Structure formats: structure tokens, C-alpha cells
Amino acid sequence: MSIVNHFPVLAVVVLLLFAYLMPLLMRWRKEWCVPATLGAIGFSLIASLYMMWQVMTTGPFMYQMGSWAPPWGIEFSIDYLAVFATMTITIVGLIVIYYGTQDLLHELKEQVMGWYYTLYLLLMASMIGMVLTNDLFNMFVFVEICAIASCGIISIKESRECIEAAFKYLVLSAVGSGCLLLAIAMIYMVTGHLNFTYVAQALPQVMDLYPLNILVSLALFLVGLGVKAALFPLHVWLPDAHSSAPSPSSAVLSGLVIKVYAIAMIKLLYKVYPPELLGMAPIMNMILWMATLAIIIGSMFAIVQDDIKKMLAYSSIAQIGYVFLGVGLMSESALQGGILHIFNHAIMKSMLFLSAGAIIYATGTRKLSDLKGIGITLPVPTIAFSLGAFAMVGIPITNGFISKWYLALGSLDVGRPFFAAVILVSSLLNGIYYLPIVVNAFFGEPEGAVAEPRPLPRQMVVSLILLGSGVILFGVFPSLILGVVSKAAQSLLGLL
């Protein structure tokens, strides 16, 4: 047995291992912290790419902890959706932390830098664990680690906004976790299993006996994961949390963390709960309407913001709506669009947050109205921001277009053109708040700090360029990622 067979678990464990090594390194070998972090995430990236190759060539497989077969042991299920999500997490996570190694220097005190890496690695590990795991309780544990770590990377910057935002986030996500645990208890009560596969087998049999328990558990899952994924109207914590955090944290929180909960929701809805249940209550319609409201209201709130990061945060609320729209429509194209949007939005939004961070780093201003002429003095972040903005609007040859195409196609497939119209209206709203910034940035005379920005370090520029080329690359050659996405959607809908 070679080590590659253990990549599923190593992708998580190596990150955890390095997370715990970090405090020790901090004490004795400070200069090793950054390479160790990059190395650990790089290893996970390699592992996830290898798993992706494995899954695409030989099909999904399972990994059993301690070789204990289910239902006793904990399983990792390496299927299309999981490898897709793992790859997204590791790629974006690596780029963001590479950027962060420089940006954090000015946002954080020096003695907490090592702790930041610890938290970041924990966050990455928990996200990867959450998408890989095939066990309800294991998922809960990862959800909790993720919640604490993500609060941690907000509150580590000791400004009062951060602390307050982190507290709000922590309390709300504790409520969410409570709901999750209760839901798991209900499922365990009626089925006696925690393993997704076994639960999925048992649920149809017990549905007649305990229909209410199962329904309540689904509702609790929806609320619990909805709070964490900031699905409207459970989004109240997000704008503060994502806008006050250090930029790399914002990027990873908006880009990845909220999506991971969406993936958990997808797994539960499509892999665990029987389709008959969806006939009992209009769960999917509820998700659709919540998503629609999220899309419209998130965009509307974004329009009135003057703080660049707050605007991006509200835009994330709208974008998570797209993902749930794809989940709720239950057609192959729409699900593809939703899943694809997880990846595309991860790239776009982290790029937007990082370029906003670079602008803040260089000029010290976060007010949109102060950013006149920034495109002339700070070309790279502004061009990256513009690319992200175009992708958000859904201009062709950016990746945002591709996911919108699939979502719109999916809504037409099921005969609900209304939701296609929602996507269009929200694209227009996106245009209304993103494009003036772009215009302002390129046409106008720079003044004040904008005229003489600090030079950007190489790491920040490189990260932005990487993400920017990703936006174009996956807009022009979407087939690079579409293979695994369509397989994931098909397997979730049982078409494979």
C-alpha cells in the first residue's frame, strides 16, 4: 500500500498536524511558519488533485478510518462532489494564504501570526473534512471546528468591530450547531445510524412510522446549515463578520466557508433524504424562495454600501442565493450551475476581497467614493477587481457567465422561467453596484492617498494575477471543470 491510497485522510490530517505544529514552530523556528503552512496546504492540493484524477478515472470510492467497516467506523466518501469541493478549497485556500503572508503583516500583531496560521489550517482541514465525510456526527464535529476557526480568524484582529462581529457570528453559529445536533439526534433516533449511506437506506423504511421526526430533522438541518451558509433571512451576521475581518479571512470566509455548508446541505438533501420526503413538504420551494429573496435583497443592500468590503459581503449573500437556487430547482443543469457557482464564486469573491484588501493595504481607505483613479496608480488590484466585477455581472468569457448560463438553463428546463428572470435582474443589480466602481477607478483623477499608494508586495500581486487568470481561464475553457461538475450533478440526481 502506498501513501497515495491514504490521500483522503491525509488531506485532512496533514493540515491538522501542521496546525498543531504551528505553536511549536512559533516558539522555536518562527521563519518556518509560512513555508510549513504553504507546504501543508500544497500537500492537500496535490492530494485532492490526485483524488480527483482517481475518481474521474475509476469512480467514487470510500475510505474507512482504522479499517473499520461501516456502520461501525467513520467513512470518508470520495465522490465527484467531494473531490470537486476539495479541489476548490485547496486551490483557493492556497492562493489566499499566499497573499495573506504579506497582507497579514500589517493587519495583525506579530505575536499572533503563528496562531493565525493554526486557525487557518484548522479551517482548511475542517472544510475538507466536512465535504469528504460520510458520517453525520463527524460532519457535526467538522462543522464546529469550522465555526470556531472561522470566528477565530475574524477576532484575531483585535479591533472592536472584529470582536463584536465574531461574537455575533459565534452565538448565531452556536444556535445553528444546536439545531444541527438536534437534527442528528432525531435522525439517529429513528434510524439508528449515522453513516449517510445507511441512513439513506433506513429512512424510506421508517418514514411511515416517524414522518414528523424526519421532517423536523430536515427543517433543523436547513436552519442550522442555513445560518452558517448565510442563507437569507439567516444572514444577519455575515456583513459585519466578513467586512471587518482581515482581508485574507474575508476572502476565505466569503469564498469558501459559506459554500462548504451549502455542499453539506446538498449532500444531505440529495444523498440522505429520500425524494419522497420532498413531496411531503415544499422544502425545495422554500429553499428556492429563500434563495430568490437572498439574491434580490442581498444585491439591493449591496447597492447602498459605501464600504468596499461591506459591499462585497452583501454581494456574497446574493451569491450564496445562486448556489441554493441551483440546489432547489432540482434539474440537472441547475444543479450543475449551482455546484459550478461554488467554484466560480470562490474564485471571484476571493479575488474581489483580496483586491479590496490590496487597495486598503496600499492606500488605507475603504470608502468606495475615495477610490477615484485608483486604476491608474494601482493597476493590478484594480484590474483584478474589474475582472471580478465583470464575472459577477456575468459578462461572457468570465466564469460567472458559465454558472449563470447553467442556472438559467436549469430553471427553463423545469419550466420556471421566473427564476431565470431573477438571475437576470440580479445580474443587473450587480452591474449597478459593481460597474460604477470600475468606472470610477479608471476614469478620474486620483487624490490623496490614492495618488501615492504603498507599493504592493510580490505575493499579493502574484495571488491576484493567479485568481484573475482563473476567472478568464474557467470562463473560456469551462470544460476543464465541467466534467467533474456534471458528473457530480448526475450522481446526486441518481442519473449515473
Partner 1 sequence: MEDIIVRYVTRIILPFVQLYGLYVVLHGHLSPGGGFSGGAIIGASMILYALAFNLSAGSKKLSHDVSSALESGGALLFAGMGIFAILLGTNFLGNKVAGIPIGTPGNLFSSGAIMIITFGVGVKVASTMITLFYSLIEGEDHSHDHD
Partner 2 sequence: MTMIDILLRLHQNSYYFFAIILFIIGFHTMLSHNNLIKKVIGMNIMDTSIFLFFVAIGYVNGGRAPILEPGVPYTAYVNPLPSALILTGIVVAVSVTAYALSLIVKLYKHYGTIDAEEIMRIRGGDIQ
Partner 3 sequence: MRFTSSFLPVWIVMFPMVMTAVIYYVEQHSEKMRNALAVGTSLVTFLSVAALYPYIMAGNIIEYKMFQLLPSLDISFRVDILSFSLALLSSFIWMMVAIYSLDYMCKEHGCNRYYPVLIITLASCMGIFMAGDLFTLFVFFELMSLISYVLVVHEETVEALRAGYKYLIMTIIGGLALFFGIIITFELAGTVTLSGATLIKEPSTLAFFAFISFLIGFGMKAGMFPLHVWLPDAHPVAPSPASALLSGIMLKTGAYGLLRVIFHVFGFEFMQREGWTVILAVVAVITILLGSAVAITQDDLKRRLAYSSIGQMGYILLGMSILTERALIGNIFHIFSHAFMKSTLFLCAGAIILKTGKRSIKELGGIGKQMPFTMFAFTLAALAMIGIPPFNGFLSKWTLSLGAMDAGVPFYVLVLLLSSLLNGLYYLPIIISAFFGGEPGHEHDHVKVNEAGYKMLIPIAILAVSCLLFGLLPTNLPFDLSRVAAEFLLRGGQ
Burial 195-222 (b: 16+ CB within 10 A, else e): bbbbbbebbeebbeebeebbbebbbbbb
Residue 75, C-alpha cell as written in the block: 467513512
Q: Out of partner 3, partner 1, partner 2, none, which partner does residue 17 contact, by CB within 5 to 8 A per kind?
A: partner 1
Q: Which stretch in 113-121, 179-187, 260-268, 455-463 sits in contact with partner 2 by CB under 8 A?
A: 179-187
Alpha-carbon distance of 452 to 248, in angstroms, equals 23
Q: Out of partner 2, partner 3, partner 1, none, which partner does residue 337 contact, by CB within 5 to 8 A per kind?
A: none
The yes or no reply on residue 163 touching partner 2 (CB under 8 A) is yes
Closest approach, Cβ 387 to partner 2, in A, equals: 32
| DSSP strand pairing (75-78 vs 61-64) | antiparallel
Q: Are 225 and 217 in contact (CB under 8 A)?
A: no
Of 174, 172, 304, which is closest to residue 238 (Cα–Cα)? 172
Closest approach, Cβ 162 to partner 2, in A, equals: 9
User: Site for partner 1 (CB under 8 A): which residue of 63, 198, 270, 433?
Assistant: 63
User: Site for partner 3 (CB under 8 A): which residue of 117, 314, 324, 405?
Assistant: 405
User: Site for partner 3 (CB under 8 A): which residue of 439, 480, 495, 496?
Assistant: 439
Alpha-carbon distance of 148 to 136, in angstroms, equals 19
Contacts with partner 1 by CB under 8 A: the residue count is 19
Q: Which stretch in 186-194, 249-257, 276-284, 428-436 sits in contact with partner 2 by CB under 8 A?
A: 186-194
Cα–Cα separations (whole angstroms), residue 481 to 60, 84, 86, 144, 164: 17, 8, 13, 30, 39
Closest approach, Cβ 423 to partner 3, in A, equals: 9
Closest approach, Cβ 3 to partner 1, in A, equals: 7
Residues pairing with 76 in the sheet: 63, 133
The yes or no reply on residue 141 touching partner 1 (CB under 8 A) is no
- The helix or strand, by DSSP H or E, that contains position 255, with its residue range, turns out to be none
The yes or no reply on residue 111 touching partner 1 (CB under 8 A) is no
User: Site for partner 2 (CB under 8 A): which residue of 171, 424, 428, 439?
Assistant: 171
Of 463, 209, 490, which is closest to residue 339 (Cα–Cα)? 490
Q: Out of partner 3, partner 2, partner 1, none, which partner does residue 64 contact, by CB within 5 to 8 A per kind?
A: partner 1
User: Site for partner 1 (CB under 8 A): which residue of 43, 49, 64, 444?
Assistant: 64
Q: Site mask, partner 1, residues 2-41, x = CB under 8 A?
A: -x--x--xx--x--xx--xxxxx--x--------------
- The helix or strand, by DSSP H or E, that contains position 225, with its residue range, turns out to be helix 211-229
Which parts of 95-154 interact with partner 3 (CB under 8 A)?
A: none
Question: What is the four-CA torsion angle of 306, 311, 313, 316, rounded to 10 degrees?
Answer: 170
Which residue type does 277 have? L
Q: Are 372 and 441 in contact (CB under 8 A)?
A: yes
Q: Out of partner 3, partner 2, partner 1, none, which partner does residue 216 contact, by CB within 5 to 8 A per kind?
A: none
Residue number, 174 or 435, with CB nearest to partner 3: 435
Q: Are 358 and 388 in contact (CB under 8 A)?
A: no
Residue 38, C-alpha cell as written in the block: 504553504
Closest approach, Cβ 412 to partner 1, in A, equals: 45
Q: Out of partner 1, partner 2, partner 3, none, which partner does residue 435 contact, by CB within 5 to 8 A per kind?
A: partner 3
Alpha-carbon distance of 119 to 17, in angstroms, equals 12
Instruction: Name the one residue in this structure whose C-alpha cell is 478568464.
Output: 472
The yes or no reply on residue 307 touching partner 2 (CB under 8 A) is no
Q: Out of partner 1, partner 2, partner 3, none, which partner does residue 405 contact, by CB within 5 to 8 A per kind?
A: partner 3
The yes or no reply on residue 65 touching partner 1 (CB under 8 A) is yes
User: Site for partner 2 (CB under 8 A): which residue of 8, 152, 373, 478?
Assistant: 152
Which parts of 194-213 interact with partner 2 (CB under 8 A)?
A: 194
Of 212, 200, 227, which is closest to residue 75 (Cα–Cα)? 200
DSSP string for 64-98: EGGGPPTTTS-EEEE-HHHHHHHHHHHHHHHHHHH
Residue number, 24 or 428, with CB nearest to partner 1: 24
Residue number, 178 or 483, with CB nearest to partner 2: 178
Residue 91, C-alpha cell as written in the block: 486551490
Residue 216, C-alpha cell as written in the block: 423536523
- Residues forming contacts to partner 1 in the complex (CB under 8 A) are 1, 3, 6, 9-10, 13, 16-17, 20-24, 27, 63-67
- Residues forming contacts to partner 2 in the complex (CB under 8 A) are 137, 140-141, 144, 147-148, 151-152, 155, 158, 160, 163-164, 166-167, 170-171, 174-175, 177-178, 181-182, 185, 188-189, 194
